Structure 1
Amino acid sequence: MKSSTGLRVGTTVLAILLMIGANLAGSSTAGADPGPARVQATPTGLTLDGGDWWPSGFNAYQLATDWSVNAGCGAMVDLDDYFGSLEPQSLTRFNAFARLAVNKYTGQLDFGPMDAVFAAAARHDQLLVPVLTAGDGACEDEAFKDRQWYQDGWETAVPVGSPVRFDQWVSTAVNRWKSSPALAGWELVGEPEPGLCSAGGCSWQTRSCPADSGAVLRTFFDEAGALIRGIDSATPIWAGLIGGGQCGSAGDDYRLVNASPGVDVLEYHDYGSDAVPLPGDVWNGLQTRIWQAQVLDKPLVVTEIGQNAGSCGSVQGRADDFETKVAGQRSAGTAGALFWAFVPDPRPAECTFDIGPDDPVFDLVEDLNTVSP
């Protein structure tokens, strides 16, 4: 029987071999010096190519889905149709998970679908924030990332269905796409929460949140952020936090975590307060998060704004509510707004967050997205 150390070494060697092979067959930008990043984070907002940039756009989580290659995450998207329908220099946040870079037939890394996302975005002068994993495990192993994962699991555990650990995936992804002209930032984890799972499972009802959870999450961002910085010193790192009082980022822990040198852009996710610009309370509301960002001299982008439409409301009414909401947020000091979520196959007969290709929110994105010299 092999020791656990032997298994770990064997897994590491396999992962390295897979990454080397994939990179030899892959992108011409892999390993290249990225040079100056197009997007920069400043105390007052974001810049693009040196001009002030107030970005708007969509979460389009399924862009890297290719059923002929990977296990997918949602429906397949015609990339040129999607990026071509957006105002140039809009922003899209998408899932760039290791699982979506695995060929479902061979079990080995296959970057084709993700390379296609970056290439299509670049063709249409669009910007991307790739999210490298999700806190809830969606579209990966479906396992919630708990306290232990943020302490050391991200460097030691190989998720089910992936040939690499998370730290290896971060290194691989950053090396591969750091030179892409479409790159606007890196997001380590979408909606991280270092909760402590109980014996009964890891649903939110059964998790607990130790008092030092903010410190655990801060250390993770310090260390994982340094991993990115060692490969790409210029591209902003986005925090991924919901901002509404979740484990590890409630109250002043939000400031503690975002003070990390591994965070450049703060986030807030806005659901359930239709047409209300500044939702939440004095401890965890958006206004408080904006103040905390100002104290840290870092910009805050509302990276998820969601409202149901379809059978429960008109898409035009939703677009109008979004416009009211974002106008108030921008006036209060936010640095951008992304809507949840573009899908190529919206369900108008159901009550969903779906934003389809002909949705009036596309017109709103065009009006909101601004770049000034």
Structure 2
Amino acid sequence: MFPTVTHTTTPDCEPSQFILPDLVNDCHYPLRQNPHCHAVSRASDQWLVDVAQLVEPEIRGYIDMDIGAFVATCYPDADAFHLQVCSDFTAWLFIIDDWMEYGVVDVQGVRESCNFAFRDPINFDTEQLGAKMCKLFFSRFRETAGPGCTERFIHGGELFFAAVAKQVDDHPKGHIYDLESYIALRRDLSAMKICFPLIQCVARIDLPDEVLSHPVVMALEDAINDHVAWSNDILSYNKEQSYGDAHLENIVAVLMNERGLDLQGAMDYAGQMCKDAIQRFDSNRARLPSWEEEVDRQVAIYVEGMQNWMVGSLHWHFNSARYAIKQDRVVKLLPKKHL
């Protein structure tokens, strides 16, 4: 499953910089942008002001992320209505994840209130801001999502909150994950298990359980999930290590600890893991079984949607102010912050 180790030495002193893997050139899928990008971006920014009740300077960081551009590349074929749902959901996800990570909200409390909002977004009433945001985007999601798609979205949300709760509980203990347990946790932390049914909702399809439980389809989802999560870890490592958080929730630090790699070796190793995830996606796509004609058509749409998510997410990371990545891929390590 894992690539061959190429760097096994640990330097006597801390490195001052590292070179990012060439993730963009390794990901060979075409990048497309939704034509509704500009309008949805403006509406998404206003949503943060009106609904999330964010003000300066906090709101500036989220606006500079350009969430509208993010969803426009991940969902290039969505109509304006569905693209707005995706944008509002993604804004909520970034905000609620930050609030939980930095202790702004109680994880268990927001988990319970958001789950209630998912189950009954029309009638459930709450003063919890994160759950209020859930009600607004999820009530629109349910207007067009099929029953299977809706239930899988809710289940993906439950897995995400459970993983965050575990992460927050592990953090003060200084727990260091082994590679296998980290991969399992990261697949829930990535929130891709919420995004997979969103891909179907946008395309107005609702694949049957017998399709989504097929080993090849599940392997495709794992490959996309891994690539999105690991590339995010690679590109966010510098910021995380400056806060001292990378040892808990980053594939690079996990590899350094478990494989005895130096920083550059772990970066290279993680980059190869991303390449391997692409190869897994391609090989499993070629092995897809055939169902009936209409189901096969919908499966093809779903698989292309996963592909769009992989390439769209990757390119957004390189362009987003949240990650501040230089195009030459040479990254100078940020100094540690004293909190």
TM-score w.r.t. the length of structure 2 is 0.35
Q: Higher helix share goes to which structure? A: 2
Q: Higher strand share goes to which structure? A: 1
